[in-house]
Structure 1
Amino acid sequence: MSIVRLIGLPTDVNSSFLRGPAKAPGHIRAALFSDMGNLATESGRELVQDIAVEDAGDLPLDESSADDPRIEAAVAQACRDGATPILLGGDHAVTYPVLRGIAAVHGPVNILHFDAHPDLYDELGGNRRSHASPFARVMEEGLATRLVQVGIRTLNAHQREQAARFGVEIVPMRDFAAAAVPTPAAPLYISIDLDGLDPACAPGVSHHEPGGLSVRQLLDVLARVNGPIVGGDVVELNPDRDLNGMTAAVAAKLVKELCALA
Protein backbone atom coordinates (compact mmCIF):
# COMPACT_ATOMS: atom_id res chain seq x y z
CA MET A 1 0.00 0.00 0.00
CA SER A 2 1.28 3.46 -0.88
CA ILE A 3 1.97 5.79 2.04
CA VAL A 4 1.46 9.54 1.76
CA ARG A 5 2.50 12.01 4.44
CA LEU A 6 0.61 15.32 4.41
CA ILE A 7 2.68 18.19 5.78
CA GLY A 8 1.25 21.68 6.25
CA LEU A 9 3.51 24.66 5.62
CA PRO A 10 1.76 27.68 7.17
CA THR A 11 3.93 30.49 5.87
CA ASP A 12 3.52 33.37 3.43
CA VAL A 13 6.43 35.54 4.57
CA ASN A 14 7.83 35.56 1.03
CA SER A 15 4.61 36.67 -0.66
CA SER A 16 5.08 39.74 -2.83
CA PHE A 17 1.53 41.14 -2.99
CA LEU A 18 -0.93 39.84 -0.41
CA ARG A 19 -0.54 37.66 2.62
CA GLY A 20 -3.00 34.91 3.46
CA PRO A 21 -1.62 31.58 2.16
CA ALA A 22 -0.22 30.80 5.62
CA LYS A 23 -3.81 30.09 6.63
CA ALA A 24 -4.35 27.58 3.84
CA PRO A 25 -3.31 24.15 5.20
CA GLY A 26 -6.24 23.85 7.60
CA HIS A 27 -8.72 24.88 4.92
CA ILE A 28 -7.34 22.26 2.52
CA ARG A 29 -7.56 19.53 5.15
CA ALA A 30 -11.12 20.52 6.07
CA ALA A 31 -12.19 20.27 2.43
CA LEU A 32 -10.29 17.02 1.87
CA PHE A 33 -11.96 15.22 4.77
CA SER A 34 -15.34 16.95 4.53
CA ASP A 35 -18.57 14.97 4.27
CA MET A 36 -19.37 16.91 1.09
CA GLY A 37 -17.35 14.33 -0.84
CA ASN A 38 -15.45 11.10 -0.41
CA LEU A 39 -11.85 9.94 -0.57
CA ALA A 40 -11.99 8.25 -3.98
CA THR A 41 -9.66 9.53 -6.68
CA GLU A 42 -10.42 9.56 -10.38
CA SER A 43 -8.17 6.53 -10.86
CA GLY A 44 -10.44 4.53 -8.55
CA ARG A 45 -7.85 4.33 -5.80
CA GLU A 46 -9.15 5.56 -2.44
CA LEU A 47 -7.32 7.41 0.28
CA VAL A 48 -7.08 5.38 3.49
CA GLN A 49 -8.36 2.19 1.81
CA ASP A 50 -5.74 1.96 -0.96
CA ILE A 51 -3.38 4.79 -0.04
CA ALA A 52 -2.32 5.14 3.58
CA VAL A 53 -2.47 8.79 4.61
CA GLU A 54 -0.39 10.09 7.50
CA ASP A 55 -1.27 13.64 8.49
CA ALA A 56 1.82 15.13 10.10
CA GLY A 57 0.00 18.38 10.86
CA ASP A 58 1.57 21.77 10.27
CA LEU A 59 5.24 22.45 10.82
CA PRO A 60 5.89 25.05 13.55
CA LEU A 61 7.10 27.78 11.20
CA ASP A 62 7.80 31.23 12.64
CA GLU A 63 9.04 33.33 9.70
CA SER A 64 12.64 33.02 10.86
CA SER A 65 15.75 31.74 9.11
CA ALA A 66 15.08 28.39 10.79
CA ASP A 67 12.00 27.73 8.66
CA ASP A 68 13.81 26.47 5.56
CA PRO A 69 15.86 23.90 7.50
CA ARG A 70 12.67 22.77 9.30
CA ILE A 71 10.90 22.20 5.98
CA GLU A 72 13.89 20.48 4.43
CA ALA A 73 14.34 18.15 7.40
CA ALA A 74 10.65 17.17 7.60
CA VAL A 75 10.52 16.35 3.90
CA ALA A 76 13.75 14.37 3.94
CA GLN A 77 12.51 12.41 6.96
CA ALA A 78 9.26 11.54 5.19
CA CYS A 79 11.25 10.20 2.23
CA ARG A 80 13.55 8.19 4.49
CA ASP A 81 10.49 6.73 6.21
CA GLY A 82 9.23 5.44 2.87
CA ALA A 83 6.38 7.96 2.64
CA THR A 84 5.62 10.30 -0.24
CA PRO A 85 5.47 13.87 1.11
CA ILE A 86 2.57 15.97 -0.15
CA LEU A 87 2.94 19.56 1.03
CA LEU A 88 0.06 21.91 1.76
CA GLY A 89 1.21 25.50 1.29
CA GLY A 90 1.80 28.21 2.05
CA ASP A 91 3.26 30.45 -0.63
CA HIS A 92 5.31 29.03 -3.48
CA ALA A 93 8.63 29.94 -1.86
CA VAL A 94 8.31 26.73 0.19
CA THR A 95 8.99 24.57 -2.87
CA TYR A 96 12.70 25.39 -2.72
CA PRO A 97 13.41 23.90 0.74
CA VAL A 98 10.98 21.07 -0.04
CA LEU A 99 13.05 20.12 -3.07
CA ARG A 100 16.24 20.37 -1.03
CA GLY A 101 14.73 17.75 1.27
CA ILE A 102 13.63 15.58 -1.65
CA ALA A 103 17.05 15.79 -3.33
CA ALA A 104 18.82 14.89 -0.07
CA VAL A 105 17.24 11.44 -0.38
CA HIS A 106 16.44 10.93 -4.05
CA GLY A 107 19.05 13.13 -5.71
CA PRO A 108 18.09 15.58 -8.49
CA VAL A 109 14.53 15.11 -9.72
CA ASN A 110 12.38 16.10 -12.66
CA ILE A 111 9.63 18.65 -12.00
CA LEU A 112 6.20 19.18 -13.51
CA HIS A 113 5.07 22.66 -12.47
CA PHE A 114 1.61 24.21 -13.00
CA ASP A 115 1.43 27.99 -12.65
CA ALA A 116 0.49 31.29 -14.24
CA HIS A 117 4.04 32.47 -13.48
CA PRO A 118 7.42 30.83 -14.13
CA ASP A 119 8.71 31.87 -10.67
CA LEU A 120 12.20 32.22 -12.12
CA TYR A 121 13.06 35.75 -10.95
CA ASP A 122 16.63 36.04 -9.73
CA GLU A 123 15.11 38.26 -7.04
CA LEU A 124 11.96 40.30 -6.58
CA GLY A 125 12.06 43.46 -4.50
CA GLY A 126 15.50 42.47 -3.31
CA ASN A 127 14.24 39.12 -1.97
CA ARG A 128 15.98 36.10 -3.48
CA ARG A 129 13.61 33.88 -1.48
CA SER A 130 10.50 35.50 -2.95
CA HIS A 131 7.65 33.25 -3.99
CA ALA A 132 8.48 34.56 -7.48
CA SER A 133 11.97 33.00 -7.29
CA PRO A 134 11.86 29.38 -6.04
CA PHE A 135 12.68 27.73 -9.34
CA ALA A 136 15.66 30.01 -9.90
CA ARG A 137 17.08 28.72 -6.61
CA VAL A 138 16.16 25.11 -7.48
CA MET A 139 17.87 25.23 -10.84
CA GLU A 140 20.94 27.10 -9.55
CA GLU A 141 21.55 24.36 -7.00
CA GLY A 142 21.04 21.52 -9.45
CA LEU A 143 18.10 20.12 -7.49
CA ALA A 144 16.28 19.36 -10.74
CA THR A 145 17.44 17.78 -13.97
CA ARG A 146 14.37 18.80 -15.96
CA LEU A 147 11.72 21.46 -15.30
CA VAL A 148 8.50 21.55 -17.32
CA GLN A 149 6.17 24.49 -16.64
CA VAL A 150 2.52 24.42 -17.71
CA GLY A 151 -0.07 27.21 -17.95
CA ILE A 152 2.43 30.08 -18.08
CA ARG A 153 0.96 33.39 -19.24
CA THR A 154 3.13 36.10 -17.62
CA LEU A 155 6.52 35.48 -19.21
CA ASN A 156 8.49 38.74 -19.21
CA ALA A 157 11.95 39.40 -20.67
CA HIS A 158 13.89 38.64 -17.47
CA GLN A 159 12.14 35.34 -16.88
CA ARG A 160 12.53 34.42 -20.55
CA GLU A 161 16.28 34.91 -20.11
CA GLN A 162 16.21 32.83 -16.93
CA ALA A 163 14.29 30.04 -18.66
CA ALA A 164 16.89 29.95 -21.43
CA ARG A 165 19.72 30.01 -18.88
CA PHE A 166 18.36 27.00 -17.02
CA GLY A 167 16.92 25.08 -19.97
CA VAL A 168 13.36 25.28 -18.68
CA GLU A 169 10.64 23.81 -20.91
CA ILE A 170 7.66 26.16 -20.89
CA VAL A 171 4.19 25.27 -22.17
CA PRO A 172 2.48 28.67 -22.58
CA MET A 173 -1.21 28.74 -21.81
CA ARG A 174 -2.01 30.06 -25.27
CA ASP A 175 -0.53 26.88 -26.77
CA PHE A 176 -2.02 24.47 -24.23
CA ALA A 177 -3.10 21.00 -25.25
CA ALA A 178 -3.09 18.36 -22.53
CA ALA A 179 -1.89 15.61 -24.88
CA ALA A 180 1.13 17.70 -25.91
CA VAL A 181 2.42 18.49 -22.41
CA PRO A 182 5.71 16.70 -21.72
CA THR A 183 5.43 14.45 -18.66
CA PRO A 184 8.94 13.93 -17.27
CA ALA A 185 10.13 10.53 -16.17
CA ALA A 186 10.82 9.43 -12.61
CA PRO A 187 11.94 10.62 -10.17
CA LEU A 188 9.17 13.19 -10.61
CA TYR A 189 7.97 15.97 -8.32
CA ILE A 190 4.73 17.87 -9.09
CA SER A 191 4.20 21.46 -7.94
CA ILE A 192 0.76 23.03 -8.33
CA ASP A 193 0.32 26.77 -7.85
CA LEU A 194 -3.44 27.34 -7.77
CA ASP A 195 -3.15 30.56 -9.75
CA GLY A 196 -2.22 28.38 -12.71
CA LEU A 197 -5.96 27.81 -12.87
CA ASP A 198 -8.24 30.43 -14.33
CA PRO A 199 -9.65 32.71 -11.60
CA ALA A 200 -13.12 31.44 -12.51
CA CYS A 201 -12.02 28.03 -11.20
CA ALA A 202 -9.85 29.24 -8.33
CA PRO A 203 -10.76 32.72 -7.09
CA GLY A 204 -9.05 32.19 -3.72
CA VAL A 205 -5.53 33.15 -4.76
CA SER A 206 -3.51 36.31 -4.26
CA HIS A 207 -2.65 36.85 -7.92
CA HIS A 208 -5.63 36.60 -10.28
CA GLU A 209 -4.36 35.95 -13.80
CA PRO A 210 -7.18 35.46 -16.36
CA GLY A 211 -6.91 33.02 -19.22
CA GLY A 212 -5.73 30.03 -17.23
CA LEU A 213 -6.27 26.30 -16.99
CA SER A 214 -9.56 24.71 -16.10
CA VAL A 215 -9.52 22.11 -13.34
CA ARG A 216 -10.28 19.44 -15.95
CA GLN A 217 -7.36 20.49 -18.15
CA LEU A 218 -4.98 20.21 -15.21
CA LEU A 219 -6.42 16.81 -14.26
CA ASP A 220 -6.03 15.65 -17.85
CA VAL A 221 -2.29 16.32 -17.62
CA LEU A 222 -2.01 14.56 -14.26
CA ALA A 223 -3.80 11.55 -15.75
CA ARG A 224 -0.90 11.17 -18.19
CA VAL A 225 1.74 10.97 -15.46
CA ASN A 226 3.27 7.58 -14.83
CA GLY A 227 3.69 7.30 -11.08
CA PRO A 228 4.89 6.87 -8.52
CA ILE A 229 5.94 10.44 -7.86
CA VAL A 230 8.49 11.32 -5.17
CA GLY A 231 6.42 14.21 -3.80
CA GLY A 232 4.23 17.16 -4.63
CA ASP A 233 2.75 20.38 -3.36
CA VAL A 234 -0.39 22.48 -3.70
CA VAL A 235 0.37 26.10 -2.88
CA GLU A 236 -0.90 29.69 -2.93
CA LEU A 237 -4.46 29.16 -1.69
CA ASN A 238 -5.44 32.44 -0.04
CA PRO A 239 -8.52 31.74 2.11
CA ASP A 240 -9.08 35.48 2.59
CA ARG A 241 -10.03 35.73 -1.09
CA ASP A 242 -11.92 32.46 -1.46
CA LEU A 243 -15.64 32.23 -2.27
CA ASN A 244 -17.69 29.69 -0.32
CA GLY A 245 -14.64 27.46 0.09
CA MET A 246 -14.54 26.88 -3.67
CA THR A 247 -10.77 27.14 -4.11
CA ALA A 248 -10.13 25.07 -0.98
CA ALA A 249 -12.28 22.33 -2.52
CA VAL A 250 -10.24 22.53 -5.72
CA ALA A 251 -7.02 22.34 -3.70
CA ALA A 252 -8.30 19.28 -1.85
CA LYS A 253 -9.24 17.62 -5.15
CA LEU A 254 -5.73 18.18 -6.46
CA VAL A 255 -4.19 16.84 -3.25
CA LYS A 256 -6.25 13.67 -3.70
CA GLU A 257 -5.05 13.25 -7.27
CA LEU A 258 -1.43 13.77 -6.23
CA CYS A 259 -1.91 11.10 -3.58
CA ALA A 260 -3.18 8.75 -6.30
CA LEU A 261 0.18 9.13 -8.08
CA ALA A 262 2.20 8.19 -4.98
Structure 2
Amino acid sequence: MPAIRLFGLPTDINSSFERGAAGGPVAIRAALWSDRGNLASEMGGEICHDIAFIDDGDLPLSEDTARDDAAIHRHIVMLHENSEVPLALGGDHAVTFPLVAAASACFGPLNILHFDAHPDLYDDFNGNPRSHASPFARICEAGHAARLVQVGIRTLTHHCRDQAARFGVEIVPMAGFAPVHVPVLDGPLYISIDLDGLDPSAAPGVAHPEPGGLTVREMLAVLARQTAPIIGADIVEHHPGRDIGGVTAILGAKLVRELAALIDRNGPCRP
Protein backbone atom coordinates (compact mmCIF):
# COMPACT_ATOMS: atom_id res chain seq x y z
CA MET A 1 0.00 0.00 0.00
CA PRO A 2 1.24 3.55 -0.68
CA ALA A 3 2.91 5.58 2.05
CA ILE A 4 1.08 8.85 2.74
CA ARG A 5 3.06 11.99 3.54
CA LEU A 6 1.25 14.80 5.34
CA PHE A 7 2.76 18.28 5.08
CA GLY A 8 1.61 21.84 5.64
CA LEU A 9 1.74 24.82 3.28
CA PRO A 10 1.46 27.79 5.65
CA THR A 11 0.81 30.57 3.16
CA ASP A 12 -2.09 32.93 2.55
CA ILE A 13 -0.32 35.54 0.43
CA ASN A 14 -2.93 35.05 -2.32
CA SER A 15 -6.00 35.37 -0.10
CA SER A 16 -8.42 37.98 -1.41
CA PHE A 17 -10.46 39.03 1.63
CA GLU A 18 -8.34 38.60 4.71
CA ARG A 19 -5.29 36.61 5.67
CA GLY A 20 -5.37 33.86 8.28
CA ALA A 21 -5.34 30.56 6.38
CA ALA A 22 -1.57 30.29 6.86
CA GLY A 23 -2.38 29.15 10.40
CA GLY A 24 -4.50 26.26 9.14
CA PRO A 25 -1.83 23.52 9.02
CA VAL A 26 -0.74 24.03 12.62
CA ALA A 27 -4.33 24.05 13.89
CA ILE A 28 -5.38 20.92 11.97
CA ARG A 29 -2.20 19.09 12.94
CA ALA A 30 -2.77 19.94 16.63
CA ALA A 31 -6.27 18.49 16.41
CA LEU A 32 -5.02 15.41 14.55
CA TRP A 33 -2.50 14.46 17.23
CA SER A 34 -4.54 15.59 20.23
CA ASP A 35 -5.56 13.04 22.87
CA ARG A 36 -9.07 14.50 22.53
CA GLY A 37 -9.61 12.00 19.70
CA ASN A 38 -7.88 8.99 18.17
CA LEU A 39 -6.31 7.97 14.87
CA ALA A 40 -9.09 5.72 13.56
CA SER A 41 -11.01 6.31 10.34
CA GLU A 42 -14.57 5.29 9.58
CA MET A 43 -13.20 2.84 7.00
CA GLY A 44 -11.61 0.87 9.81
CA GLY A 45 -7.91 1.68 9.46
CA GLU A 46 -5.81 3.72 11.85
CA ILE A 47 -3.14 6.08 10.58
CA CYS A 48 0.37 5.16 11.74
CA HIS A 49 -0.87 1.65 12.57
CA ASP A 50 -2.74 -0.02 9.69
CA ILE A 51 -1.99 2.85 7.30
CA ALA A 52 1.54 3.95 6.40
CA PHE A 53 1.40 7.64 7.37
CA ILE A 54 4.12 10.17 8.11
CA ASP A 55 3.69 13.80 9.19
CA ASP A 56 6.52 15.85 7.71
CA GLY A 57 5.52 19.15 9.32
CA ASP A 58 5.36 22.34 7.26
CA LEU A 59 7.32 23.22 4.15
CA PRO A 60 9.36 26.40 4.69
CA LEU A 61 7.58 28.86 2.44
CA SER A 62 8.10 32.55 1.78
CA GLU A 63 6.02 35.51 0.70
CA ASP A 64 7.18 34.95 -2.89
CA THR A 65 4.58 32.97 -4.87
CA ALA A 66 6.92 31.93 -7.69
CA ARG A 67 9.55 30.69 -5.25
CA ASP A 68 6.93 28.84 -3.18
CA ASP A 69 5.41 27.27 -6.30
CA ALA A 70 8.84 25.92 -7.25
CA ALA A 71 9.43 24.53 -3.74
CA ILE A 72 6.04 22.81 -3.70
CA HIS A 73 6.64 21.40 -7.19
CA ARG A 74 10.01 19.94 -6.16
CA HIS A 75 8.53 18.39 -3.03
CA ILE A 76 5.65 16.71 -4.87
CA VAL A 77 7.89 15.30 -7.60
CA MET A 78 10.24 13.91 -4.94
CA LEU A 79 7.37 12.17 -3.14
CA HIS A 80 6.02 10.64 -6.34
CA GLU A 81 9.49 9.44 -7.32
CA ASN A 82 9.49 7.60 -3.96
CA SER A 83 6.03 6.14 -4.70
CA GLU A 84 4.52 8.15 -1.84
CA VAL A 85 1.19 10.03 -1.88
CA PRO A 86 1.16 13.71 -0.83
CA LEU A 87 -1.58 14.98 1.47
CA ALA A 88 -1.25 18.75 1.85
CA LEU A 89 -2.73 21.12 4.42
CA GLY A 90 -3.25 24.72 3.30
CA GLY A 91 -2.95 27.55 3.42
CA ASP A 92 -5.19 29.30 0.91
CA HIS A 93 -6.50 27.52 -2.18
CA ALA A 94 -3.84 29.04 -4.44
CA VAL A 95 -1.51 26.22 -3.33
CA THR A 96 -3.58 23.69 -5.27
CA PHE A 97 -2.19 24.96 -8.57
CA PRO A 98 1.45 23.92 -7.94
CA LEU A 99 0.30 20.72 -6.23
CA VAL A 100 -1.72 19.66 -9.27
CA ALA A 101 0.85 20.92 -11.77
CA ALA A 102 3.55 18.77 -10.16
CA ALA A 103 1.30 15.71 -10.00
CA SER A 104 0.35 16.21 -13.64
CA ALA A 105 4.02 16.36 -14.57
CA CYS A 106 4.38 12.87 -13.08
CA PHE A 107 1.10 11.25 -14.16
CA GLY A 108 -0.26 13.33 -17.03
CA PRO A 109 -3.63 15.13 -16.91
CA LEU A 110 -5.59 14.28 -13.76
CA ASN A 111 -9.20 13.67 -12.87
CA ILE A 112 -9.96 16.15 -10.09
CA LEU A 113 -12.70 16.06 -7.48
CA HIS A 114 -13.04 19.55 -5.99
CA PHE A 115 -15.19 20.43 -2.95
CA ASP A 116 -15.85 24.15 -2.52
CA ALA A 117 -18.51 26.83 -2.10
CA HIS A 118 -16.81 28.71 -4.96
CA PRO A 119 -15.57 27.44 -8.33
CA ASP A 120 -12.22 29.32 -8.12
CA LEU A 121 -12.26 29.81 -11.89
CA TYR A 122 -11.63 33.57 -12.12
CA ASP A 123 -9.25 34.48 -14.91
CA ASP A 124 -7.82 36.76 -12.28
CA PHE A 125 -9.28 38.23 -9.10
CA ASN A 126 -8.55 41.83 -8.19
CA GLY A 127 -5.76 41.77 -10.76
CA ASN A 128 -4.08 38.68 -9.31
CA PRO A 129 -4.06 35.65 -11.66
CA ARG A 130 -2.63 33.51 -8.81
CA SER A 131 -5.43 34.47 -6.40
CA HIS A 132 -7.02 31.74 -4.30
CA ALA A 133 -10.09 32.50 -6.44
CA SER A 134 -8.22 31.41 -9.60
CA PRO A 135 -6.34 28.10 -9.15
CA PHE A 136 -8.68 26.01 -11.28
CA ALA A 137 -8.51 28.49 -14.14
CA ARG A 138 -4.72 28.08 -14.07
CA ILE A 139 -5.02 24.29 -13.81
CA CYS A 140 -7.45 24.02 -16.71
CA GLU A 141 -5.69 26.40 -19.07
CA ALA A 142 -2.41 24.54 -18.50
CA GLY A 143 -4.04 21.23 -19.45
CA HIS A 144 -3.50 19.60 -16.05
CA ALA A 145 -7.13 18.45 -15.70
CA ALA A 146 -8.50 15.66 -17.85
CA ARG A 147 -11.78 16.06 -15.97
CA LEU A 148 -12.79 18.51 -13.23
CA VAL A 149 -15.87 17.83 -11.11
CA GLN A 150 -16.86 20.49 -8.58
CA VAL A 151 -19.13 19.72 -5.61
CA GLY A 152 -20.69 22.17 -3.15
CA ILE A 153 -20.66 25.19 -5.47
CA ARG A 154 -23.31 27.74 -4.49
CA THR A 155 -21.84 31.08 -5.60
CA LEU A 156 -21.43 31.11 -9.38
CA THR A 157 -20.88 34.51 -10.98
CA HIS A 158 -21.51 35.14 -14.68
CA HIS A 159 -17.77 35.18 -15.29
CA CYS A 160 -17.17 31.87 -13.50
CA ARG A 161 -20.15 30.33 -15.28
CA ASP A 162 -18.55 31.32 -18.59
CA GLN A 163 -15.21 29.94 -17.43
CA ALA A 164 -16.81 26.63 -16.44
CA ALA A 165 -18.33 26.33 -19.92
CA ARG A 166 -15.01 27.29 -21.53
CA PHE A 167 -13.08 24.59 -19.68
CA GLY A 168 -15.79 21.91 -19.64
CA VAL A 169 -16.04 21.89 -15.84
CA GLU A 170 -18.75 19.63 -14.41
CA ILE A 171 -20.54 21.36 -11.54
CA VAL A 172 -22.84 19.24 -9.36
CA PRO A 173 -25.50 21.70 -8.10
CA MET A 174 -26.32 21.99 -4.41
CA ALA A 175 -30.06 22.32 -5.11
CA GLY A 176 -31.46 18.83 -4.64
CA PHE A 177 -27.99 17.49 -3.86
CA ALA A 178 -27.39 13.82 -3.11
CA PRO A 179 -24.01 12.04 -2.99
CA VAL A 180 -25.08 9.69 -5.81
CA HIS A 181 -25.22 12.70 -8.14
CA VAL A 182 -21.42 12.96 -8.00
CA PRO A 183 -19.71 10.77 -10.61
CA VAL A 184 -17.23 8.08 -9.62
CA LEU A 185 -14.04 9.24 -11.33
CA ASP A 186 -11.30 7.24 -12.99
CA GLY A 187 -7.69 7.56 -11.95
CA PRO A 188 -5.30 9.14 -11.60
CA LEU A 189 -7.51 11.01 -9.11
CA TYR A 190 -6.69 14.20 -7.21
CA ILE A 191 -8.98 15.46 -4.41
CA SER A 192 -9.08 19.09 -3.28
CA ILE A 193 -11.19 20.08 -0.27
CA ASP A 194 -11.83 23.73 0.48
CA LEU A 195 -13.41 23.65 3.94
CA ASP A 196 -15.94 26.31 2.95
CA GLY A 197 -17.53 23.69 0.72
CA LEU A 198 -19.12 22.48 3.93
CA ASP A 199 -21.95 24.38 5.53
CA PRO A 200 -20.71 27.04 8.01
CA SER A 201 -22.57 25.22 10.78
CA ALA A 202 -20.02 22.41 10.38
CA ALA A 203 -16.99 24.50 9.37
CA PRO A 204 -17.20 28.08 10.68
CA GLY A 205 -13.44 28.60 10.63
CA VAL A 206 -13.11 29.88 7.06
CA ALA A 207 -12.69 33.34 5.55
CA HIS A 208 -15.57 33.03 3.08
CA PRO A 209 -18.49 31.19 4.77
CA GLU A 210 -21.45 30.52 2.48
CA PRO A 211 -24.74 29.12 3.88
CA GLY A 212 -26.40 26.13 2.30
CA GLY A 213 -23.36 23.88 2.00
CA LEU A 214 -22.58 20.22 2.30
CA THR A 215 -22.96 18.31 5.53
CA VAL A 216 -20.00 16.35 6.81
CA ARG A 217 -21.91 13.15 6.17
CA GLU A 218 -22.57 14.12 2.53
CA MET A 219 -18.90 14.88 1.93
CA LEU A 220 -17.82 11.58 3.48
CA ALA A 221 -20.37 9.71 1.36
CA VAL A 222 -19.03 11.29 -1.84
CA LEU A 223 -15.47 10.38 -0.86
CA ALA A 224 -16.35 6.80 0.05
CA ARG A 225 -17.85 6.22 -3.41
CA GLN A 226 -14.55 7.01 -5.15
CA THR A 227 -12.68 3.85 -6.11
CA ALA A 228 -9.80 5.09 -8.30
CA PRO A 229 -6.17 5.32 -7.17
CA ILE A 230 -5.60 8.71 -5.54
CA ILE A 231 -2.30 10.38 -6.34
CA GLY A 232 -2.70 13.43 -4.10
CA ALA A 233 -5.08 15.50 -2.03
CA ASP A 234 -5.30 18.79 -0.17
CA ILE A 235 -7.40 20.34 2.59
CA VAL A 236 -7.29 24.14 2.42
CA GLU A 237 -8.68 27.45 3.66
CA HIS A 238 -8.95 26.74 7.39
CA HIS A 239 -8.82 30.13 9.14
CA PRO A 240 -8.21 29.46 12.86
CA GLY A 241 -9.00 33.06 13.78
CA ARG A 242 -12.60 32.53 12.66
CA ASP A 243 -13.06 29.09 14.18
CA ILE A 244 -15.42 28.37 17.08
CA GLY A 245 -14.23 25.96 19.72
CA GLY A 246 -11.74 24.45 17.30
CA VAL A 247 -14.51 22.53 15.51
CA THR A 248 -13.18 23.27 12.01
CA ALA A 249 -9.68 22.12 12.96
CA ILE A 250 -11.19 18.93 14.43
CA LEU A 251 -13.12 18.41 11.20
CA GLY A 252 -9.93 18.98 9.18
CA ALA A 253 -8.21 16.31 11.26
CA LYS A 254 -11.05 13.88 10.60
CA LEU A 255 -10.77 14.54 6.88
CA VAL A 256 -7.03 13.81 7.06
CA ARG A 257 -7.82 10.40 8.57
CA GLU A 258 -10.59 9.65 6.08
CA LEU A 259 -8.53 10.71 3.05
CA ALA A 260 -5.59 8.64 4.28
CA ALA A 261 -7.85 5.61 4.67
CA LEU A 262 -9.32 6.16 1.20
CA ILE A 263 -5.87 6.49 -0.38
CA ASP A 264 -4.82 3.29 1.37
CA ARG A 265 -8.01 1.41 0.37
CA ASN A 266 -7.87 2.43 -3.30
CA GLY A 267 -4.27 1.39 -3.75
CA PRO A 268 -1.29 2.76 -5.66
CA CYS A 269 -1.08 4.49 -9.02
CA ARG A 270 2.35 4.44 -10.61
CA PRO A 271 3.71 7.34 -12.72
TM-score normalised by structure 1 residue count: 0.98
Shift of 1:85: 0.2
**How many residues align structurally?**
262
1:14 corresponds to: 14
* 2:38 paired with 1:38: yes
- In structure 1, what residue type is equivalent to 2:216? V
Cα distance in 2 for partners of 1:20, 1:185 equals 35
Shift of 1:2: 3.0
2:216 corresponds to: 215
Q: Is the 8 A contact 2:112 2:190 kept in 1?
A: yes
Q: Deviation per CA, 1:104-162, whole angstroms, max 9, x where unpaired?
A: 21111100000000000000000000000000000000111000000100011100100
Shift of 1:97: 0.3
Q: Deviation per CA, 1:207-239, whole angstroms, max 9, x where unpaired?
A: 010000011110010110114310100000000
Shift of 1:255: 1.1
1:110 corresponds to: 111
Cα distance in 2 for partners of 1:261, 1:96 equals 22
* 2:187 paired with 1:183: no
Q: Deviation per CA, 1:1-27, whole angstroms, max 9, x where unpaired?
A: 431001100000000001100011111
- In structure 2, what residue type is equivalent to 1:125? N
2:138 corresponds to: 137
1:1-262 equivalences in 2 (<5 Å): 1-64=1-64, 65-262=66-263
Percent of aligned positions with the same letter in both sequences?
Answer: 61
- In structure 2, what residue type is equivalent to 1:24? G
Shift of 1:45: 1.4
Shift of 1:57: 1.4
Kindly report the root-mean-square deviation, in angstroms, between the aligned alpha carbons of the 2 structures. 0.9
Q: 1:101 to 1:86 in 2, by over 3 A?
A: same
Shift of 1:244: 1.1
Q: Deviation per CA, 1:42-83, whole angstroms, max 9, x where unpaired?
A: 111111112111222111111113011001111111111111
Secondary structure of the residue aligned to 1:146 is: strand
Q: Is the 8 A contact 1:227 1:261 kept in 2?
A: no
Secondary structure of the residue aligned to 2:152 is: strand
Cα distance in 2 for partners of 1:173, 1:138 equals 23
- In structure 2, what residue type is equivalent to 1:211? G
Cα distance in 1 for partners of 2:201, 2:76 equals 32
TM-score normalised by structure 2 residue count: 0.95
Cα distance in 2 for partners of 1:107, 1:54 equals 26
Secondary structure of the residue aligned to 1:78 is: helix
Which 5+ residue runs of structure 2 have no aligned equivalent? 264-271
Q: Is the 8 A contact 1:195 1:205 kept in 2?
A: yes
Secondary structure of the residue aligned to 2:88 is: strand
Secondary structure of the residue aligned to 2:175 is: helix
Q: Is the 8 A contact 1:197 1:215 kept in 2?
A: yes
Cα distance in 2 for partners of 1:54, 1:45 equals 15
Q: Is the 8 A contact 2:28 2:249 kept in 1?
A: yes
Q: After TM superposition, which residue ranges in structure 1, 4 or more long, deviate above 4 angstroms? A: none
- In structure 1, what residue type is equivalent to 2:7? I
Q: Is the 8 A contact 1:122 1:133 kept in 2?
A: yes
Cα distance in 2 for partners of 1:123, 1:114 equals 20
